[in-house]
Amino acid sequence: MKTRVVPINPRRPAARAIAQGAALLRAGELVAFPTETVYGLGADALRPEAVQKIFQVKGRPLDNPLIVHIADRDHLRQLARKVPPAAFTLTDRFWPGPLTLVLPRSAAIPPEVTGGLETVAVRMPAHPVALALIRESGVPVAAPSANRSGRPSPTTAAHVLRDLGGRIPLILDGGPTEIGVESTVLDLTGPTPVLLRPGGVTLEELQAVVGPVDLKPVEGFRRRSPGTRYRHYRPRARTVLVLGSRPGLAQEVVEAHQAAGKKVGLIHRGRHLRATSSSVLVKVLPKDIAGYARGLFAALRALDDAGVDIIVVEGVSEQGLGLAVMDRLRRAASEVVGGT
Ligand code: AMP
Ligand code: MG
């Protein structure tokens, strides 16, 4: 299959490109498109054969459920059997945006979408291209991140092409995504909201709107968010996460691996860095956490593409977006050093 990459204005998407994408979705095909978080791989959520293609193309385990994307907040009622008052409070405040709600599913949702669960995850994205595409297709769009399963999520069309080129017909290229980490997933099926995955809407923002949020459901967690048990966000290179505030620790880790003859990449936060040997590939990310989140997956992929053996990355404080960033870093890492 030939993959077409069609450029599209992220703020004012051209009707023609949207119509192409929507026609493919209606025909049961897959379309990759930008959202404000990462690029998504969309299929008509109401057609089991279309949804199955997502799992094939990504190599995704069948019991890892998909998020259903809508362009009109009223459509939530068609997908969820019960919508608690807290859901309306949250959607009023955060939709469109990077917040996914888990609710009891309606009979309209095929089991392929939910991995057989009785719940469904729903989000209304804020990106004009995503909204226009969903609206024009006229169906709810099931869309996980548009990467091969287990790899860092794609934040550019080039990342999608690299992972899925030849496997999907169309990528809408709206440029780099704004947030860079995925949506926050919040389970509203119990008495207290449960944070299943930290993401673009911060825990602090959620708490300000709904009060207490449980972080770790003690029982049934695996069953409730199956996706969280799989390897995720992993570069090919062995990734070492460096924790703690001791200056120079990351550099020592780099030097130790170099001494062992490894080709090393370092993801660094725009702080002072002692001169490193020229054989270290350094990706400098902004110091502010939003800039760091925006650039993280691209940095992991760039170091991978440069063929490093080891990626050394420094942790961040788990406040605000930092909670989502650290969640991704912990999953990306095969080793953690330092810390308290
Ligand atoms: P992805 O779209 O690949 O970034 O991942 C979607 C995330 O949402 C995964 O962590 C899923 O496990 C989670 N998810 C999707 N549907 C449900 C659901 N019905 N219940 C709990 N978690 C869900
Ligand atoms: Mg994903």
Please give the angle made by the CA atoms of 181, 185 and 191, to the nearest 5 degrees. Answer: 155
Q: What is the pLDDT of residues 285-320, one digit of tens each?
A: 999 999 999 999 999 999 999 999 999 999 999 999
Per-residue CA distances from 64 to 225, 231, 312, 337 (Å): 8, 12, 29, 30
Spatial CA neighbour of 45 closest among 22, 21, 69, 24: 69
Q: Which CATH superfamily is domain 4-222 in?
A: DHBP synthase (3.90.870.10)
The 10s digit of each residue's pLDDT in 89-145 is 999 999 999 999 999 999 999 999 999 999 999 999 999 999 999 999 999 999 999
What phi, psi does 105 have (nearest 5°)?
A: -85, 150
Residue among 139, 148, 162 nearest 56 (CA): 148
- Residues 6+ positions from 291 with CB-CB distance below 8 Å: 285
The residue that leads in pLDDT, 246 or 301, is 301
Q: Which residues of 250-285 are buried (b: 16+ CB within 10 A; e: fewer)?
A: bbebbbebbeeebbbbbbbbeeebeebeeebbebeb
How far apart are the CA of 159 and the centre of ligand 1, in A?
Answer: 21
150, two tokens: 């287990």
Residue 233: pLDDT over 80: yes
pLDDT score recorded for residue 272: 57
Distance 82 CA to ligand 2 centre (A): 26
Report which DSSP code applies to 150. Answer: T
Q: Enumerate the domain spans of the chain.
A: 4-222, 238-338
Quick one: pLDDT at residue 259? 93
- All residues at 6 or more sequence positions from 178 whose CB lies less than 8 Å from its CB, including other chains: 36, 127, 294
94-104 tens-digit pLDDT: 999 999 999 99
Q: Read off the pLDDT of residues 148-166 as tens digits, 9 standing for 90 and up.
A: 999 999 999 999 999 999 9
In the chain, what percentage of residues exceed pLDDT 90?
A: 87
Per-residue pLDDT band at 247 (split at 50, 70, 90) = confident
Pocket of ligand 1 (CB under 6 A): 64-65, 67, 102, 114, 117, 119-121, 144-145, 182, 185, 196-197, 224-228
Query: Ligand 1 atom 12: the closest Cα is on which residue?
Result: 227
Asked if CATH classification 3.90.1150.10 holds for the domain at 238-338, the reply, yes or no, is: no
Find the mean pLDDT for residues 187-216.
96
pLDDT of the residue at 239 = 96
Ligand 1 centroid to residue 220 C-alpha, Å: 15
d(CA 312, CA 254): 7
The answer to whether domain 4-222 and domain 238-338 are alike in fold is no
pTM: 0.95
The whole-angstrom separation of Cα 60 and Cα 71 is 25
**Helix runs in 123-263, H state only:** 128-137, 157-164, 203-210, 221-224, 249-259
CA–centroid distance, residue 122 to ligand 1 (Å) = 9
Q: Please report the atom of ligand 1 found closest to the CA of residue 144.
A: 2
Q: Looking at residues 196-209, what average pLDDT do you find? A: 98
